[in-house]
Chains A and B, each alone.
Chain A
Amino acid sequence: DTAVSQTPKYLVTQMGNDKSIKCEQNLGHDTMYWYKQDSKKFLKIMFSYNNKELIINETVPNRFSPKSPDKAHLNLHINSLELGDSAVYFCASSQLQGIGTEAFFGQGTRLTVV
C-alpha cells in the first residue's frame, strides 16, 4: 500500500496548457504539502494545507491553484504553463502537532514544459 501517491509520474506538455497533478494519502494525516524541486535540486515548499484549509502559500504565482476536497487529497492545478515550471513536484503529508513528526513524500511528478 502506497502511503502517499501522486499521479501522473511524468508529464510532458506544451507552454500555455493547463494541467493537474493529483495526490492522495492513506495515512490519516491532517497536513499535506506541495513542494517543487528545481533543476538545482532545491526543494521548496509551495503550499501547506491542514484539514483542507490553506495554511501556507509561499508566494507562488496565481497560475498554481491547490485544491483539497478532503484531508486525504491535495491536488495541484497549473494554468498557462511556462518553461520555468519544469521541475519535479512532490506531494507530502504529515501529522505536525507542535513538536512535529515525519513527513512522507510521494514519488514525485516530473513536469516538463516544452
Chain B
Amino acid sequence: RKEVEQDPGPFNVPEGATVAFNCTYSNSASQSFFWYRQDCRKEPKLLMSVYSSGNEDGRFTAQLNRASQYISLLIRDSKLSDSATYLCVVNTGFQKLVFGTGTRLLVSP
C-alpha cells in the first residue's frame, strides 16, 4: 500500500464549481499534513497546512480525519487560475515528507 494515495484525476470542472479532493495515508503515526499546489513545469508550493480542527483560507477548506487517516481539500467557486496539480503531503516523522501522486484539476470557462 502506498504511503499517501490520491485520485490522479483529472477533475474537469466549470468555473464557479465546487470541487473536493481526497487523500489517504497509511502511517497512523504521521505528524503533520499539507496540501501543495504544482503548476505545469514549476516547483510545488505550499497551499495550506491541514489541522485536526479543519481550517479555511478563502475559497479553500482543508479537513483531517485522523481516525480514518484521511485528508480532504475543498475548493469553492473555482477559478481558471486554480487549474493545477494538488499534492497531498504527509510528514511521517524523522524529517520525511511524503508526497501523493497529485490530483490534476482543470477549470474551464
Query: Footprint of B on A, CB under 8 Å?
Result: 31, 33, 35, 40-45, 48, 50, 55-56, 90, 92, 94, 96, 98-100, 102-103, 105-108
Contact = CB atoms under 8 A, between A and B. Distances in A.
A107 B43 contact: yes
30 contacts: A31-B95, A40-B101, A41-B85, A41-B102, A43-B44, A43-B99, A43-B102, A44-B99, A45-B97, A48-B95, A48-B96, A55-B94, A55-B95, A55-B96, A56-B94, A90-B43, A94-B95, A96-B97, A98-B31, A99-B32, A100-B31, A100-B97, A102-B34, A102-B46, A103-B89, A103-B97, A105-B44, A107-B42, A107-B43, A108-B42
B95 A50 contact: yes
A41 B44 CA distance: 11
Contacts, number: 58
Interface residues of B, number: 21
B33 to A, nearest CB: 9
A45 B32 contact: no
Contacts of A102: 34, 46, 49
A42 B95 contact: no
A55 B91 CA distance: 14
